[in-house]
Amino acid sequence: MAGKKTVEKKGGIHRARAAGSQSLFRYPKLRIGAGDRARFWFLSDGEDEYFDGARFHLFPRTTRSGKVYNQEVMCLRLRTDGDESCTFCEEGHEEMALRFSIWIWVDHVLHLGDNPDPEGQAWEQIRLAAEKGKKKGRIMFKEAIGQPMVIWMAYGKEWVWFSQFDAALNQYGTLEGRLYELKRVGSNMQDTDYTLSMVKATKLPKTTAEKVEAARVSIDQIFAETVSGAGTARRPTRLSDNQPEDEAEEGAEEAGEEPQEEEGIPQEEEPAEDLV
Ligand SMILES: [Zn+2]
């Protein structure tokens, strides 16, 4: 992730190689593993162009390392209420799913274990507030992020994931001005669940403005780009090296080792409210 040393020589084969291995999805997606908690601000008030949802055609693909994932291509027919045609619908493709997406500013992600990258920096340890009936909260490892990303999620069974975002907007009238936490439990399609909580009312730091300005495009544009890049959906996968999207991250994150007990670890605030 962040903090990696960049390669000095960027031209020639380096650029050719980079272009070839570029992900079809060029916006940074929030990816969290089992037990992770992402702490973030919304970069949307909830009713603007930075929060959107649509129906996507799913095309199974395989990465070079053998991971199976779905390439997601927005259905133009459903997006436009039938005004525009969709080549995939016309071909009788029926494997589809709903997705919603929102721009967020990720401040940090709390992990159960330390940085799995042996060459990366160790993450700072923090202690969560104690749960009821316990003397001490658990220790987690804090990966500083500090960049805009998009949440890209399934609506969940009976819209249970989506409805938490809906609840936040209903409760506060805007998604802005509060720090939130998205917590993931489980690691595969069957046992994964997400909980959105409001941590505290606090403004997004002004120092983020420039990075936000540079990164943020409408979610509609991001959705549209899945269609313009869809020619590759049926191309042989043998030479592609796209990063797995969504479901494919499953299993990538192992539950971390039990953190060592240590004194003097800063305490992390617990979310004030769950939005279930
Ligand atoms: Zn379609």
Question: What are the tens digits of pLDDT across the range 163-178?
Answer: 999 999 999 999 999 9
Q: Say how many Å lie between the CA of residue 241 and the centre of ligand 1.
A: 25
Average pLDDT over residues 144-170: 96
Asked if 180 and 196 count as a contact pair (C-beta separation under 8 A), the reply is: yes
Q: What average pLDDT is seen over the chain?
A: 84
User: What pLDDT sits at residue 229?
Assistant: 79
Is the model's pLDDT at 261 over the cut of 90?
no
Calculate how far, in angstroms, residue 83's C-alpha sits from the geometric centre of ligand 1: 12
Cβ atoms of 147 and 106 within 8 Å: the answer is yes
CA of 98 to the centre of ligand 1 (A): 12
CA of 152 to the centre of ligand 1 (A): 19
| Among 39-43, 243-247, 270-274, the least confident range | 243-247
Asked if 154 contacts 99 with a C-beta cutoff of 8 angstroms, the reply is: yes
* Residue-level pLDDT at 234: 52
Q: What is the pLDDT of residue 38?
A: 98
Find the 56 Cα to ligand 1 centroid distance in Å. Answer: 7
d(CA 82, CA 84): 5
| Spacing, Cα 234 to ligand 1 middle (Å) | 15
SS3 label, residue 169: helix
Place of tokens 């936040």: 168
Task: Encode pLDDT of 94-133 as tens digits.
Answer: 999 999 999 999 999 999 999 999 999 999 999 998 888 8
Q: Find the 22 Cα to ligand 1 centroid distance in Å.
A: 25
What is the C-alpha to C-alpha distance for residues 141 and 213, in angstroms, rounded to an integer? 29
Non-local CB neighbours of 171 within 8 Å, separated by 6+ positions: 198, 275
Q: Where are the domains of the chain?
A: 28-242
Number of H helices, E strands in the chain: 6, 10
Q: Mean pLDDT throughout 18-31?
A: 72
DSSP lists the bridge partners of residue 201 as 178
Distance from Cα 230 to the centre of ligand 1, integer Å: 12
| Whether the predicted pLDDT of 190 surpasses 90 | no
Q: How much distance in Å is there from the Cα of 89 to the middle of ligand 1? A: 4
In one letter, which amino acid is 208?
T
The single-letter code of the amino acid at 117 is D
- pLDDT, position 231: 65
